[in-house]
Amino acid sequence: MDILIMKIGGSIQDKLPESFYKTIAHLQQTKKCYPVIVHGGGPMINDLLKKLDIPTTFINGLRVTTTEVLQVVEMVLSGSINNEIVTQCQIQQLQAIGLSGIDHGLLKVKPVQTTEAIGFVGEVTEVNTAFLMELLENNIIPVISPIGMDEMGQHYNINGDMAASAIAKALGGKLAFISNVPGVMKRKKNELKIYSSLTKGEAEQQIKDEIITDGMIPKVRSAIGSLSIQMKQAVILNGLEPEDIASYLKGNQVGTKFVYKEEAAYV
C-alpha cells in the first residue's frame, strides 16, 4: 500500500469541500494508501500579523521569521489550522492526530542557509519515520504543522512544501501538493495550458523565465528536490477536484507531475 503525503496549502485549506475528506476516508478504508497530511497557513498568518501590526516579508517565497513572527506562526499553524484539519478528518470517522514537527522529535532542523538574513527559518535534517510508521500502521493519520526544532531546543518555521518533501523522501512515499490550481500553467496561443510533466531542469528554466513565480517557487523546488532514483515523481493536484487524488493513485494523468527523468509535456 502506498504512503501518500499530501501538502495542503494555506490558500485552499478552508476552501476544501467535504468531498475531499470523504475521498481521503475512502482511500484509507479501501487500503489504497496510508495518508499523511502536512499543512501550511500563509493567509491566516498574514491576517494575524497584520492585526498585531507585525511586519512580514518574503525572500524567494520564504517568510522572514523574527522571534515575534515565529510566535504567531506557531500559534496559527500548530493551533487553529491543525485543529480544524483534524476535526474535518474525524467528522469522516478518520482517526487523525494533530502534531507539530516538535512532537516526539518528528522534524529535526537546521537554519536555512541563505545570503540574506531570513531569521528562524529551518530545513529538515531528520524525520522520525519510526514514529510516523507506527501511527500509519495503526490507521492513524498524522496531521503535521511545519514547525521544527534544532539540537539546542530552538524552534524554526519550516516552509510547508519543504517539510512535506522531506517527509515524503524519508518515508519513500508519493508526494502530492494539494493546491487551488490544477498544476503549472503557461499561456500558449492565448490559452492557458497545464504542463502534464516537468523535469528538474525544465522547472528551473520556468522559474528563471518567471513563468513560475512567488509562492509556487518553493512548491516546485520542493517537488523537484524530493526526486531521486527511489522517488521518481511528485505532483501538484487541484484540491477542489478531490477525485483527482484517486485518479492519480490509479496512475492516470492529472495535475503536473515532476519527474526524475522525462521530457515536459502539455495536457
Task: Kindly report the CATH number assigned to the domain that includes residue 176.
Answer: 3.40.1160.10
For strand 95-100 and strand 58-59, is the pairing parallel, antiparallel, or unpaired? unpaired
Instruction: Name the range with the highest mean pLDDT among 60-64, 142-146, 173-177, 230-234.
Output: 142-146
Top-confidence residue, 193 or 164: 164
Instruction: Tell me the whole-structure pTM to 2 decimals.
Output: 0.89
What does the alpha-carbon distance between residue 229 and residue 232 come to, in Å, rounded to a whole number? 6
pLDDT tens digits, 205-252 = 888 888 888 777 877 887 887 777 666 778 999 888 888 888 988 888
Tell me which residue has cell 492516470: 252
Residues 234-249: b if buried by 16+ CB within 10 A, e if exposed: bbbbbbbbbebbbebb
Q: Which of 135, 143, 139, 37 is nearest to 82 (CA)?
A: 143
Structural domain range at position 189? 2-266
Top-confidence residue, 244 or 126: 126
Length of the chain: 267
Above 80 in pLDDT, residue 86? yes
- Average pLDDT over the chain reads 89
How high is the pLDDT of residue 223? 80
How high is the pLDDT of residue 115? 66
Domain count, the chain: 1
Which amino acid, residue 152? M
DSSP state for residue 105 in the 8-state scheme = G
Top-confidence residue, 189 or 82: 82
